[in-house]
A = this chain, B = another copy of it.
Amino acid sequence: MLAGGPSRRGNALSSRVQLLLAIVGLLAAPVILLASTFSRSHPVPRAITALEINNNLVKDHKIVTPPDLLSQCEEKFFTQTLDHFDVGAPTYQQRYFVCDQHFRQGGVMFFYVGNEADVELYLNHTGLMWENAQEFGAMLVFAEHRYFGKSVPFGKDVTKHMQYLSTEQAIADYAVLITYLKGEYERDVPVIGFGGSYGGMLGSWFRMKYPHIIDGVIAGSAPILSFLGDEVPLDKGAFERIVTFDASEDAGSAPNCIPNIRRTWSVMRKLGATEQGRQQLKRAFSLCDGVKINSEKDVDDVMSWAKDAFDYMGMGNYPYPSSYIMNGVSVLPAYPVRAACSHVADEFAADDDIGLLTAFSKSLGVYYNSTHDQECFGLSASNNESALDADFWDYIFCAEIYQPQAVDGVNDMFWPIPWNFTADNEHCKAEWGVEIRPLWATTQYGGRKALKVASNIVFSNGNYDPWSGTGVLQNYSDSVVALTVKGGAHHLDLMFSNDLDTPSVLAVREAEKEHMHKWASEFYERKAAVVTE
């Protein structure tokens, strides 16, 4: 899951950075609009298949996702009730994969807690499950989140029935599915959950709410402290502060990167004030002919579009080339923020605004032209998330897990974008007819207070990951622990091993394995005690 940017709808320049597997929830609609309006060689957003991911293997870039994982799994469907808390509700077919070749007696179930995309994406990227299957004698289960992938209720009418899309229902799906699988396979085994980003949030909440069903959870990059109402006030500016850190010398980027990027905003605003300036800006940025830059508002949109690139590159700031942030369709280079910063590494003379913007445009190309085949920029998002997935994420955000954000332009390299609850709420009302419940996530899931009584959750966070700022960064007990992946971005530890893995991510994976072994042992000890009692 990744971040989006602030809403660019209307004047609602609020600070809503979204939590998405692969992108910009609120930008989805404008993206589609632009993509169909302006000609450019950019893949149309669509669902990703494993075949595509494998076809996109770029071996010389050291992307080494093992091929053909899907063929090692059985695709299955399970009849779930849409409302677990209302026995009379209709049902839907939940998809899941079982990859069973490594299971043995005394083994475990590794359970991927699906998040907001086609579950094949997680199946193909969650190397931590695959690479430990043999050692743990694990059957792998990848469960798809309701409303995503092939687990969509009501077919084409799905958007008329949004009320069943909720975190509580999704977690209850997993509880029911695991209960069913234990019976169906006649395997009373420990269950270890894995989830990244929103999947990590769901995974940690799953353990808190159903500890009798899931024995422990590896929660990668799960920003469960991103809500209002906790006992410590929310750090709303964390996300962009860490994006900015990624562009700093301390994170390996060019020393001039941050000052140059800060300067671009004022340059853009200055140029944006006149028609002549806007045309200069358009040329310097290599925007496509069809893109209209006719007002200061249009320039604001360009600024947000530029900022989005850094939001996503920050999340995808991995030590090797990866297609994950791009939903498997294209590849970002190793440390994309460093790559982007390399284009603005020089000092630009005070009168060389155009030189700066031209260079900055190349920075943005690291993200928006990751396919290396675009001749101009169309202001669309570029991460290939499907429009429907983006909409569904937006619904979840509006309905349950509202994550306020703010940008101050002081602790980060952007411009002030104050938190604007009213604008966010207006968006949610207009789009979905729902009012945000700002305290709901903390009421339901408990924030720090819940962590103090939880058990068996490993929270991992990369210090390059903008979401780490609202993740769990301290131990709460021997079994609720925080692991830091130094030099890692969004749930790097869940990915397949890579020659360019840092020592830190290797150490984190080893520590995670220790916890997993402990959870499995505890399960079998408890089970033995029951039998003999």
Residues of A within 8 A of B (CB): 83-89, 162-164, 166, 168-169, 172, 175-176, 179, 209-213, 229, 231-232, 398-400, 432-435, 437, 439-440, 443-444, 446-450, 452-453, 455, 526-527, 530, 533
Q: Min CB distance, A400 to chain B, in Å? A: 7
Contact A85 B453 (CB under 8 A): no
Please, how many angstroms separate the alpha-carbon atoms of A211 and B432 in the complex? 32
Contact of A179 among B168, B213, B443 (CB under 8 A): B443
Residue of B nearest to A211 (CB): B453
Contact A211 B446 (CB under 8 A): yes
Q: List 24 A-B contacts (CB under 8 A).
A: A83-B163, A85-B85, A85-B166, A85-B168, A86-B166, A86-B399, A87-B399, A87-B435, A88-B162, A88-B163, A168-B168, A175-B443, A175-B444, A179-B439, A209-B209, A210-B446, A211-B446, A211-B449, A212-B447, A212-B449, A212-B452, A212-B453, A231-B530, A453-B455
Please, how many angstroms separate the alpha-carbon atoms of A447 and B179 in the complex? 13
Q: Min CB distance, A510 to chain B, in Å? A: 26
Give the chain B neighbours of A447 by CB distance below 8 A.
Answer: 212
Q: Min CB distance, A452 to chain B, in Å? A: 7
Please, how many angstroms separate the alpha-carbon atoms of A214 and B94 in the complex? 34
Contact A176 B85 (CB under 8 A): no
Contact A450 B86 (CB under 8 A): no
Please, how many angstroms separate the alpha-carbon atoms of A83 and B444 in the complex? 13
Please, how many angstroms separate the alpha-carbon atoms of A526 and B527 in the complex? 33
Please, how many angstroms separate the alpha-carbon atoms of A175 and B446 in the complex? 10
Residue of B nearest to A169 (CB): B85
Give the chain B neighbours of A434 by CB distance below 8 A.
Answer: 87-88
Residue of B nearest to A162 (CB): B88
* Contacts known (A86-B166, A449-B212); A172 close to B444, Cβ less than 8 A: yes
Contact of A437 among B87, B209, B212, B526 (CB under 8 A): B87
Contact A86 B163 (CB under 8 A): yes
Please, how many angstroms separate the alpha-carbon atoms of A398 and B87 in the complex? 9
Please, how many angstroms separate the alpha-carbon atoms of A448 and B169 in the complex? 23
Q: A83-B163, A211-B450 are in contact. List 13 more A-B contacts (CB 8 A).
A: A87-B440, A88-B163, A89-B163, A168-B168, A175-B444, A176-B443, A209-B209, A210-B446, A212-B453, A213-B443, A231-B530, A232-B530, A453-B455
